[in-house]
A and B are shown apart, each in its own frame.
Chain A
């Protein structure tokens, strides 16, 4: 079991325009109304790079920036764990289409945005951080993998870690074989010690066997949780928003899962 503290949250999804705006919906105090994700380029990036930034970079930078704003930490001092099922899916589609026809002119920007760690690269430049950064993928379990790795870094390296999870839809024809419901991102700033900013502690346990996953009470939010790999973290955000103690189960794969015990600070 690993015990970590949350001291900042970032959120951006359909009808969830930031943690400050979205937490009352997650707590069940306000009605959730789905609306297109309010994507915008981050002012962390210089103008030229803002134009090149695809959806994942917009998501990742927005939620990361919001989480640091809440925690009051300097982003230069935090290690980063990025996790996503697909990276930049618009760009992947465009490159496949370009390579299927002559001439095969993949632009330099398309190519360097195609690496799974593109969002991490842009973040590290924008935040001016030399701390370790990793970029993970575990298909539908990408959020669980990111949380597990972040907890391991926090507890074994005594690091402050920002976990940034994001996913967004593919265009057709890939959307038909890998439907992702909407652009969604969330960030958590995690530390090994309680501070005055800590919202809650989370005990993270990796366990064998199948599990009945914790679901969202609101039907619309449950559709979102099921529809986006990165949104599998919503039950954790709901617990943080409510400020109550909670036990949460998140599936990893068929034969293993994460158990989380959330205790408000």
Chain B
């Protein structure tokens, strides 16, 4: 593929607001996971929560969009000068030439979950202040972000569960090659809600402990919330010589099961191979892999096999979900950004909470952090329905 220039990025999650909060927490091995205190949820588990959300107020002209997910989006857009950078990009390209392609799995569903507790006792109607299109609808996120930033280019939400905010990089790349837009805001937001906590619990996929990726005794995920945004532009001679680039994307489908990955990691392997091919790189060109690593028995086993098949046991790999929890539709962009921080700061994050590596998985899994030069990173995101996406990010050799 034609590489895209990554001009600016930011994120917000349980580790704090903005890039330096995440970088500091990674370096200090401070996890964002806490015992579950959220609404009246009665599950014994750990969650990764954005503490600053409770005090966050929507911008007055966007009050109809008020819900946990859009608050998190707004909070994130204001970090690291991201919204200001979009203002500059608008001057360069015009508002109609900047696309908005975002991922979320549950959008503002919490708003509906809470509204169903307040149905009119006689008519059964929803409360009058419930706004479906602006909160529950899956597109709410991209509509809100477009309005907040004043953008009118093509926009949609990709909702393919946990691969959503990785796949949006591919959408942006295609739209730019096709000439539909000149730049794009990509990323994703997912926020805590009862549907995911009780839903993952019903599948037996939620751990009672802080999640332990790739540990022999791993027993499930810790649900997290977070947001991340990236401004991508076409690569030109002036802007790309030493820039951070999206070098390749690989997408695939498992064709195996709705909620269990292919046991041999067939879809995961295809996504990684396609990402390398799209970047024109070999396995040996990758210096660090940020794994999907959800800490379920099945994900880590199948992803581990796929990584071993494609990369052998040399490339340092880790899952950072012990820090951030599983942010579902925001996991892809968050981990892409962690990969870019690793490149910028010459730093490989290890894996918090992981103690005893699964001896059945033969990859170069890193528990401890280390300092080393990183040029190119591969980041994996796999979702329910067997939807897989791998990204290759880095600088030109």
Q: Could you jot down 24 A-B contacts, CB within 8 Å?
A: A1-B179, A92-B109, A99-B116, A107-B202, A108-B202, A111-B200, A112-B385, A114-B199, A115-B161, A115-B384, A117-B160, A120-B253, A125-B258, A125-B386, A130-B253, A134-B167, A137-B137, A137-B156, A137-B157, A149-B156, A156-B173, A157-B174, A173-B125, A255-B152
Q: Check if A256 is an interface residue, CB within 8 A of chain B.
A: yes
Minimum CB–CB distance from B138 to chain A (whole Å) comes to: 4
CA distance A151 to B137 in the complex (A): 24
Q: Check if B113 is an interface residue, CB within 8 A of chain A.
A: yes
Asked if A156 and B174 sit within 8 Å, CB to CB, the answer is yes
Name the CB-closest residue of B to A120.
Answer: B385
- Given A148-B180, A149-B171: A136 in contact with B117 (beta carbons within 8 A): no
- Given A117-B160, A130-B255, A138-B156: A106 in contact with B199 (beta carbons within 8 A): yes
Asked if B259 and A108 sit within 8 Å, CB to CB, the answer is yes
Asked if A177 and B130 sit within 8 Å, CB to CB, the answer is yes
| Candidates A87, A114, A121, A136; contact of B195 at CB < 8 Å | A114
CA distance A133 to B258 in the complex (A): 14
- Given A2-B178, A116-B138: A135 in contact with B158 (beta carbons within 8 A): yes
> Which residue, B119, B152, B179, B253, has most C-beta atoms of chain A within 10 A?
B253
Hey, which bits of chain A sit against chain B, CB under 8 A? 1-2, 80, 85-87, 92, 95-97, 99-100, 104-108, 110-118, 120-122, 124-125, 127-139, 141-142, 145, 148-149, 151-153, 155-157, 172-174, 176-178, 206, 208, 252-253, 255-256
Name the CB-closest residue of B to A113.
Answer: B258
- Chain A residues with CB below 8 A from B113, complex form: 96, 99-100
Name the CB-closest residue of A to B257.
Answer: A125
Asked if A112 and B203 sit within 8 Å, CB to CB, the answer is yes
Name the CB-closest residue of A to B196.
Answer: A111
CA distance A1 to B113 in the complex (A): 42
- Chain B residues with CB below 8 A from A131, complex form: 252-253
Per-residue CB contact flags for chain B residues 133-174 toward chain A (1 = under 8 Å, else 0) read: 100011110110000000011111111110000010011011
Besides A85-B138, A138-B142, A152-B180, 16 other A-B contacts (C-beta < 8 A): A95-B195, A100-B119, A106-B199, A115-B160, A116-B160, A120-B385, A121-B386, A129-B255, A130-B270, A133-B160, A135-B387, A136-B158, A137-B139, A172-B124, A177-B132, A208-B152
Per-residue CB contact flags for chain B residues 263-299 toward chain A (1 = under 8 Å, else 0) read: 0001100100000000000000000000000000000
> Which residue, A1, A132, A138, A208, has most C-beta atoms of chain B within 10 A?
A132
CA distance A127 to B105 in the complex (A): 24
Minimum CB–CB distance from B62 to chain A (whole Å) comes to: 16
Asked if A178 and B259 sit within 8 Å, CB to CB, the answer is no
Minimum CB–CB distance from A189 to chain B (whole Å) comes to: 17
Q: Check if B251 is an interface residue, CB within 8 A of chain A.
A: yes
Per-residue CB contact flags for chain B residues 167-203 toward chain A (1 = under 8 Å, else 0) read: 1001101110111100000000000001100111011
Asked if A116 and B105 sit within 8 Å, CB to CB, the answer is yes
Q: Check if B254 is an interface residue, CB within 8 A of chain A.
A: yes
| Candidates A133, A136, A153, A176; contact of B159 at CB < 8 Å | A136
- Chain A residues with CB below 8 A from B252, complex form: 130-132
Name the CB-closest residue of B to A100.
Answer: B116
| Candidates B119, B177, B256, B383; contact of A117 at CB < 8 Å | B383
Q: Check if B96 is an interface residue, CB within 8 A of chain A.
A: yes
Asked if B133 and A97 sit within 8 Å, CB to CB, the answer is no
- Given A99-B195, A106-B202, A139-B137: A118 in contact with B385 (beta carbons within 8 A): yes
- Chain A residues with CB below 8 A from B259, complex form: 108, 111-112
Asked if A208 and B96 sit within 8 Å, CB to CB, the answer is yes
Q: Check if B324 is an interface residue, CB within 8 A of chain A.
A: no
- Chain A residues with CB below 8 A from B155, complex form: 138, 145, 253
CA distance A230 to B125 in the complex (A): 26
Q: Check if B310 is an interface residue, CB within 8 A of chain A.
A: no
Name the CB-closest residue of B to A122.
Answer: B258
Asked if A139 and B143 sit within 8 Å, CB to CB, the answer is yes
Asked if A97 and B116 sit within 8 Å, CB to CB, the answer is yes
Minimum CB–CB distance from B132 to chain A (whole Å) comes to: 4
